[in-house]
Amino acid sequence: MKFIKNSGLLICIAGFAFFVGSIFIGDHNVTPEKFNDWVNSKGIKSEIFIKNAEQEIVGKTFSSIQLSSTIIELAEKSTQEHQDNIQLWQNSGGQDEKINEEWSKVIWTSWSSTHKDFTYPLLQATINSPVKENQWLAFFLTFGLAIIGGLLYIIPDFILLGPAGIKNNKLFQHSATNRGWGGIVTAVFFVVFYFLLYFFPDLIINPILTTNKISLSLSGNPASQWFMYGLIYCSVMTVFAVKMYIKYRHNLYQIIRTTVVLFFQVAFAFLIPELLVRFNQPWYDFKNAWPLNYTFFFDWNINSLLNSGHLGMFMLVWGIVLTVIVVPVMVYFLGKRWYCSWVCGCGGLAETLGDPYRHLSNKSLKAWKFERYIIHLVLLFAVVMTGATLYSYFSGATSILGIDTYSIQSWYGFWIGSIFAGVIGTGFYPILGNRAWCRFGCPLAAYLGLVQRFKSRFRITTNGGQCISCGNCSTYCEMGIDVRSYAQKGQNIVRSSCVGCGVCSAVCPRGVLKLENAPEDGRIIDNPILVGKDEIKLQV
Amino acid sequence: MEHIVIIGNGVSGITTARHIRKNSDKRITVISGETDHFFSRTALMYVYMGHMKFEHTKPYEDWFWKKNRIDLVRGFVQKINPDNKTLELTGGDSIGYDKLVLAVGSKPNKFGWPGQDLDAVQGLYSYQDLESMEKYSPSTKRAVIVGGGLIGVEMAEMFLSRGIDVTFLVREDRFWGGVLPKQEGELISRHIKKHHVDLRFNTELQEILADENGRARAIITKEGEEIECQFVGLTAGVSPNIDFIKNGKIETNRGILVNEFLETNVPDIYALGDCAEFHQHPTGRRNLEQVWYTGRMMGETLAQTICDNKTPYRPGMWFNSAKFFDIEYQTYGWVYSELKSNENEFYWEHENGEICLHLVFDKTSNALLGINTFGIRMRHEVCEKWITTGKDMNHIMEHLKDANFDPEFYKQYENQIVNQYNQQNGTTLKAKKRDWKRIFVKN
Ligand SMILES: Cc1cc2nc3c(=O)[nH]c(=O)nc-3n(C[C@H](O)[C@H](O)[C@H](O)COP(=O)(O)OP(=O)(O)OC[C@H]3O[C@@H](n4cnc5c(N)ncnc54)[C@H](O)[C@@H]3O)c2cc1C
Ligand code: SF4
Ligand code: SF4
């Protein structure tokens, strides 16, 4: 068993090594046709750039990094010249027309968008590599090995961990799960991955290509970095769901919850949208509710839905109904868990890949205070941004109160959508625990939380006086809720942040906690004196 | 301002302190020789097994004490002088008090076995015990645990988590035989064996042998068998930790003797928790009850008395819970290891042999007296209502689903249980659907 486990680990590492290694192989040969296609598709007007690029790039062979940085260098150089011209003409009182034309030639660059928007298409079109030649083989050597190895590593636990039950042995003694070097290495790997994915997809063309065949067979389009990410997401969740199944095989709540959240990810966030694209419909994730789905009301999205006939119209209406009616009504009956740990993709990853890190959440009162400020600020920001977007959409004005709507959107998209949700939220799993985004940043969680706190049947019932204050519940609460502080006082846990993962109840060695939906009456218990004390009951 | 001094920062002492603070402005000092801050003794095993760090066992953050004006003193009290109301600490400091609360807890029993004071021979009670288990573990291949009770099984689980083999000596013919009825004792014994513990019944410790460095190297049983080991766990119960109090003015027996107000014979001195023994338990339970809950409830009660709301201790129905490896256990009311003459029983066990429900009821009235449940969580309030209001077995069977406290989607066994009851008693009862109104109705 041990042998199978260790071989699994090696195979899995090999898969990752191929995946990462593929970044460094192959080269780019920029033919004149491909170059022209790219120039046209990007609408590049700078003759300076085009001329220089034709000299320096076309017909030559580069590595990805060389090509990408050369293009950006040339772009910056041309931009400099155009700006100098503009300066010159402005000083000499030149004609506006000419100046405007010159402005349109400027190629704006920034590290966070140029790679993904500007250089990526050219690099993608020009790659020559063994991966490109052998896409199925490449898929097997990367995804295939990683998945097979991962499963071989995980499945022996069925025997190795002994009879079914809570097995958290050594979590706080192992470097990978206790912020040791193992955890730090993992975090660095995650963070680098997210930076490449979000901001430098032009440097990971080969990894993206490993998923190309799958993409072609699903949507008919070549794989993008987002397709690759979706496939990674689903694969990782599936492998770690198997881990959950083994770890919690005695706990049907966990098994069903894991299955459902995995289903929603694979079907709703991955397969259905890709198939929609195949049938020329908009890419649409039916479960992704605003304001987590912050681009829902962006003009390009609304327009695309409006241009997609009945189905598009339905999607638009459904998106609104989901947020305005479905979400709060379901939270009333079931608690926010129905979304956060049963449906949501972020939650799904946190509950599978993130499960080994759940105990790293910060339980201090300080963290709770910080949480309440920041998450509601993000919600407020999301609402304001969407308000401004809709205002611009209907009024046609591009700015509101002097602030450009587009820059609000890109600020949010960069800081909240990418850095907070991705880099910090997932990248820092091994440091901050698995729900840092859900707890501190997700505007939808904030909205659901308000409903859950003030109008819901959901609570975690504390079983009378049975709590021994051991602290397992608080330690394993991924949301950093100090569950024990309620349980030891005999109070029910009614907290806006609780995602109803059910793990506090699972790890409690005394059977003290039960997640349940019951009448609102008596949901919140304030009586600090416990059962078994007849005499003091009068005196609260 | 009245100065309340509490010796012991366990659950009893701390609950008292917290509730005094809730109800008054009195000056509060808590003295402990064990740790700076209150921690949960019950979680020591989880620290060893790596489920938690020590900091997670502390129910309150470290700033809590200052904010609530509870002064903490780290030190050992070696003498109490009731005449001038002072305490002497080792090291020479002395502390005065107006009222003194003794919450000094217990210590593991040692029954005079030869070799019981060798290195790597110890119980599991204090933080220091945990540290020394850590110290000896890397050089331990096999541990022998003496005494089949709750702490023994925890220790076994701890060692197994580190790949250390365990031999477990139990005096009775089944695990925890003095407390559990035969059926449950056998169920748990099977489970312990399933975890590859070398469990020996009807076996007692004779002596512990030392190696050349004064560390345990083997034990000899009463039958004369020698078992090689590098660690001996003594878990044959605990007794009040009152050596420094004995032979003073404060009256003691096994524990510090108290009345129903938790007052000792000396005015302004109180005792509670593991170290307190009732002359006569106010509600007829055992005079010495060394569990977490009683310490907590006594603390809540005593704080009232100290804050001038004199309140007798009324713990209500007995309850307790534990976990044996993977099987949770809860008990409500009284299920004794042997039926009493007025008692009858109903026992259901799942075919997997790891889940059971044991009900004890009065022979004549059929009123429920006690519940043992293994592998099924039950709702405390509902069980308490049944037992304190003397509901009869027919009522229990019909409303069994109200008491289920297992997580959602768990398989439920009430129908099976009621079927078996019907078969055995010729009744035709049906388990009613769970009803929130019945469960949450206040009475
Ligand atoms: C491993 C383990 C598991 C347990 N599990 C459970 C369980 O699951 N359920 C349950 O109900 N109970 C359990 N118990 C029992 C429960 O922990 C005790 O009943 C409870 O902790 C007693 O609390 P206390 O405050 O009375 O005493 P303690 O917690 O023992 O506190 C007494 C404190 O006083 C200090 N002290 C003593 N003398 C002096 C002195 N002279 N000067 C200064 N300080 C002094 C001691 O060092 C200690 O810190 C368990 C006990 C152990 C050891
Ligand atoms: S895990 Fe259970 S017993 Fe332990 S502190 Fe939490 S509620 Fe109490
Ligand atoms: S309180 Fe319990 S159910 Fe809620 S998030 Fe924390 S661990 Fe999960």
Interface touch B319/A466, C-beta < 8 Å: yes
Query: Angle at CA A332, nearest 5°, toward A330 and A337?
Result: 60
Do residues B326 and B428 share a domain?
A: yes
Q: Would you say residue A325 has pLDDT above 70?
A: yes
Q: Is A121 part of a structural domain of the chain?
A: yes
Whole-number Å distance, alpha carbon A279 to ligand 2 midpoint, is 52
Residue B277 near residue B241 (C-beta atoms within 8 A):
no
CA distance A504 to A460: 10
Q: Which residues make Cβ contacts (< 8 Å) with residue B68, sequence separation at least 6?
A: B18, B21
What are the angstrom distances between the C-alpha of A487 and each of A234, A333, B377?
36, 23, 16
Is some CB atom of chain B closer than 8 A to the CB atom of A502? yes
Residue B383 near residue B362 (C-beta atoms within 8 A):
no
Is some CB atom of chain A closer than 8 A to the CB atom of B50? yes
Q: Is B113 part of a structural domain of the chain?
A: no
The residues with which B200 forms a beta bridge, in sequence order, are B169
Nearest CA to ligand 3 atom 2: A504
Across residues A362-388, what is the average pLDDT? 96
Q: What is the pLDDT of residue A529?
A: 55
Do residues B78 and B150 share a domain?
A: no
Q: Which residues make Cβ contacts (< 8 Å) with residue A38, sequence separation at least 6?
A: A121, A122, A125
3-state SS track over B373-411: EECCCECHHHHHHHHHCCCEHHHHHHCHHHHECCCCCCC
Nearest CB to B314; choose among A170, A474, A533? A533
Q: Which residues make Cβ contacts (< 8 Å) with residue B19, sequence separation at least 6?
A: B299, B300, B303, B304, B307
Interface test with A, best of B134, B311, B405 (most A CBs within 10 A): B405
- Percent of chain B that is helix, strand, coil (3-state, to 5): 25, 30, 45
Nearest CB to A475; choose among B56, B436, B439? B56
Tell how strand B121-122 and strand B106-108 pair up.
unpaired
Domain harbouring B412, CATH code: 3.30.390
For the CA of B330, the nearest ligand: 1
Do residues B164 and B49 share a domain?
A: no
Q: Is A169 part of a structural domain of the chain?
A: no
The residues with which A400 forms a beta bridge, in sequence order, are A403
Is some CB atom of chain B closer than 8 A to the CB atom of A259? no
Q: Domain count of chain B?
A: 3
Instruction: Collect all residues of chain B within an 8 Å Cβ-Cβ radius of residue A502.
Output: 407-408
Q: What is the pLDDT of residue A524?
A: 85
Structural domain range at position A111: 27-127
Residue B13 near residue B273 (C-beta atoms within 8 A):
yes
Do residues B147 and B202 share a domain?
A: yes
Residue B216 near residue B226 (C-beta atoms within 8 A):
no
Do residues B103 and B244 share a domain?
A: yes
Q: Would you say residue A530 has pLDDT above 60?
A: no
3-state secondary structure of B145: strand
Q: What is the pLDDT of residue B154?
A: 97
Rg (CA), chain A: 26
Q: Is A343 part of a structural domain of the chain?
A: no
Other CB atoms within a 10 A radius of the CB of residue B96 amount to: 13
Whole-number Å distance, alpha carbon B348 to ligand 2 midpoint, is 27
> Residues A111-152: pLDDT tens digits?
888 898 999 999 999 999 999 999 999 999 999 999 999 999
Domain harbouring B250, CATH code: 3.50.50.60
Do residues B244 and B350 share a domain?
A: no
Q: At what angle do helices A32-42 and A47-56 cross, to 10 degrees?
A: 160
Q: Would you say residue A538 has pLDDT above 70?
A: no
Q: Which residues make Cβ contacts (< 8 Å) with residue A440, sequence separation at least 6?
A: A370, A371, A374, A375, A420
CA dihedral in degrees (A193, A198, A203, A204; nearest 10)? Answer: 60
Do residues B218 and B358 share a domain?
A: no
Averaged pLDDT in 10-residue chunks for chain B of 443 residues: 97 97 96 97 98 98 97 97 96 96 97 97 98 98 94 97 97 93 96 96 97 97 97 97 94 97 98 98 94 96 96 94 97 96 98 97 97 97 94 97 97 97 97 92 62
CA distance B352 to B190: 11
> Residues A456-477: pLDDT tens digits?
999 999 998 999 999 999 999 9
Helix (H) or strand (E) holding B345: strand B343-349
Q: Which of B387, B277, B284 is closest to B331 using CA atoms? A: B387
Q: Would you say residue A155 has pLDDT above 60?
A: yes
Q: Is B116 part of a structural domain of the chain?
A: no
Enter the tokens of residue A143: 């995804």
Residue with tokens 């440091």: A431
Do residues B25 and B92 share a domain?
A: yes
Q: Is the dihedral of CA B157, B162, B165, B166 positive or negative?
A: negative
Interface test with A, best of B408, B434, B437 (most A CBs within 10 A): B408
CA distance B165 to B197: 7
Q: What is the pLDDT of residue A531?
A: 46
CA distance B158 to B163: 9
Mean per-residue pLDDT over chain A, rounded:
93
**Ligand 2 atom index nearest CA of B40:** 5
Across residues A423-441, what is the average pLDDT? 95
The residue among B236, B253, B286 that closes a domain is B236
Mean per-residue pLDDT over chain B, rounded:
96
Q: Domain count of chain A?
A: 1
Transcribe A344-408 into DSSP letters. Answer: -HHHHHHHHTTGGGGGGS--SHHHHHHHHHHHHHHHHHHHHHHHHHHHHHHH--SEETTEEHHHH
Do residues B326 and B434 share a domain?
A: yes
Instruction: Collect all residues of chain A within an 8 Å Cβ-Cβ radius of residue B325.
Output: 163, 165
> Residues A2-32: pLDDT tens digits?
999 999 999 999 999 999 999 999 999 999 9
Q: Is A374 part of a structural domain of the chain?
A: no
Q: What is the pLDDT of residue A539?
A: 37
Burial of A344 (0-12, 13-18, 19+ CB in 10 A): buried
Cβ A349 under 6 angstroms from ligand 3 = no
Residue B315 near residue B281 (C-beta atoms within 8 A):
no
Do residues B103 and B243 share a domain?
A: yes
Q: Is A137 part of a structural domain of the chain?
A: no
Q: For the stretch A102-124, what's the b/e string if a residue is b when 16 or more beta carbons lie within 10 angstroms of its beta carbon?
A: beebbbebeebebbbebbbbbbb
Q: What is the pLDDT of residue A405?
A: 84
Structural domain range at position B144: 121-236
Enter the tokens of residue A184: 């730090």
Residue A125, min C-alpha distance to chain B (Å): 51
Do residues B232 and B245 share a domain?
A: no
